[in-house]
A and B are shown apart, each in its own frame.
Chain A
Amino acid sequence: MRSANSLFLSGRFLLALFTLILNGRLLAWSQESALYSFRLSGGDGNAPLDGLVVDQFGNLYGTTSAGGANFEGTVFELSPPATQGGHWTETVLFSFGGISDGAAPSFGSLVFDQAGNLYGTTSVGGLTGEGCSSAGCGTVFELSPPASQGGSWTHTVIYEFSPGGASYPIGGVVLDSAGNVYGTTSSGGTAGWGTVFELKPLSAAAAPWTEQVLHSFAGGADGAAPQASVTIGTKNKIYGTTQEGGSAGFGTVFELIPPSGSGGAWKKIVLHNFVGGKDGAYPDGSVILDSAGNVYGTTVGGGQQASGLCSS
């Protein structure tokens, strides 16, 4: 009994040590710091849904889905302290106006172009009409930095989604090396189940951007309701997820292959149909690619106890 007991004790000790080591590993990476709390008052943004983009100086940029001067959401900048241990400084760069110029920027992250302009989407705002709610069909916007330090950033709606077309872009956009803008809309398109779109800048500075729908999701096996932006891979292939649809109705991972000749149609392939359970269900985010061409992402549902997974 005694030896069994001491074995039990040493086992407990080992377990404690193991836990300690694990905790040590956890502590080594658990220096979480709350850098900024959004405020209810003073025209500050509230409730950020999107991630951050960082510039070379360590300034963070993001959006809030609510708050701001017009309670329609904001774009903000958070600048690191001048001295270590100081406070980070938040500046609201732009407050959205609603129907006039966009509202409620949602998921995804802002992106920089090579000239330092920021691009993003507002899930609603802009044009209204049949097929879009009274809140608007959504916009793609550009925010240009001030010409001199301390000046205002300039907000430009580069595309307003319109009733009967693609609508409700909730995932932000990405840029290719030529400055073309790509994203998804969660609704609209020929079947109403969302789209993948491309916006091309025209050469003249004041000319409008032109939209091309690269794929309209048909629902069912083709996929439906993309919630996130897309990712551009090698040979300009585009990767993304649809939250719904697919052969089992639990969402898909898709690939869009550009046409070989100008004016041809993009070819869409479903790379994976989620089947629920341990396989995962309802991917809500975009995907990332590694150098070997593997695709990684998460699902909100599925896994064990309906809690999502990472898959490649």
Chain B
Amino acid sequence: MPPSAQGGPWREVVLYAFQADIGANPYDAPVLDHSGNLYGTTYQGGSFNRGIVFRLAPPAESGGVWTFTTLHEFVGGGDGVDEGIFPLAGLTSGPDGSLYGTTWEGGSGGCQNDIYYGCGTVFRIAP
């Protein structure tokens, strides 16, 4: 938060602290909608530890608690499964109101390392 008077100190407010079972390691900045909601990704964490998409809704009153909602938990699944895993990048809002993003692994594209399948994906989260 910017200083109330010029030259004063900026103030940091922690809006949400992630826990591994919910979501972990958000690498990129969130996006902001017109209502002040923040949308983002975490690279890991969630039920499957393969990353999530989340929303943080601002409090009704200044100084209140932000509301965290998991919008999607990436699960992947293996060869032939379209869904991705491990979203590193943040989200982009499209002209249709959907959110678009990428995952750096997962999907049905055939790449395979020791553990995970896929060459990465592009995904959409529709409202």
Contact = CB atoms under 8 A, between A and B. Distances in A.
Contact of B119 (A46, A88, A290): A46
A65 B55 CA distance: 27
Contact of A285 (B27, B92, B108): B27
Contacts, number: 238
B107 A34 contact: yes
B90 A48 contact: no
Interface in B102-127: 102-111, 118-127
Interface stretch (A12-20, A157-165, A192-200, A302-310): A302-310
B89 A109 contact: yes
How many A residues are at the interface, by size bracket?
35 or more
Contacts of A290: 32, 36
A41 interface: yes
Contacts of B110: 39-41
Contacts of A32: 53, 71-72, 83, 123-126
Given A29-B55, A49-B104, A307-B25, A58 B96 contact: yes
A37 B102 CA distance: 10
Given A298-B26, A312-B12, A51 B120 contact: no
A288 to B, nearest CB: 5
B86 to A, nearest CB: 10
Given A38-B109, A62-B122, A310 B89 contact: no
A310 B25 contact: no
A310 B17 CA distance: 7
B71 to A, nearest CB: 4
Contact of B32 (A25, A39, A288): A288
Contacts of B118: 37-38
Contacts of A296: 15, 29-30, 32, 38
Interface residues of B, number: 70
B75 to A, nearest CB: 10
**A280, A286, A294: most-surrounded residue (chain B CB, <10 A):** A294
Contacts of B119: 37-40, 44-47, 67
B62 to A, nearest CB: 11
A311 B89 contact: no
A38 B107 contact: yes
A48 B122 contact: yes
Contact of B13 (A33, A52, A311): A311
A224 interface: no
A219 interface: no
A293 interface: yes
Nearest to A48: B102
Contacts of A285: 26-29, 90
B122 A107 contact: no
A208 B125 CA distance: 41
A36 B122 contact: yes
Given A39-B109, A44-B109, A300-B26, 5 more contacts: A29-B69, A34-B122, A109-B92, A309-B15, A311-B15
Interface of B: 1-2, 10, 12-20, 23-32, 36, 38, 40, 42-43, 45, 53, 55-56, 66, 69-72, 82-84, 88-96, 100-111, 118-127
Interface of A: 25-26, 28-41, 44-54, 56-58, 60, 62, 64-65, 67, 78, 88, 107, 109, 228, 253, 271-272, 278-280, 284-288, 290, 292-312
26 contacts: A29-B71, A29-B125, A30-B125, A32-B53, A32-B124, A35-B123, A44-B109, A48-B103, A54-B95, A62-B122, A65-B104, A88-B122, A272-B12, A279-B14, A285-B26, A295-B1, A295-B10, A296-B29, A296-B30, A297-B29, A297-B30, A303-B17, A303-B18, A305-B19, A307-B42, A308-B25
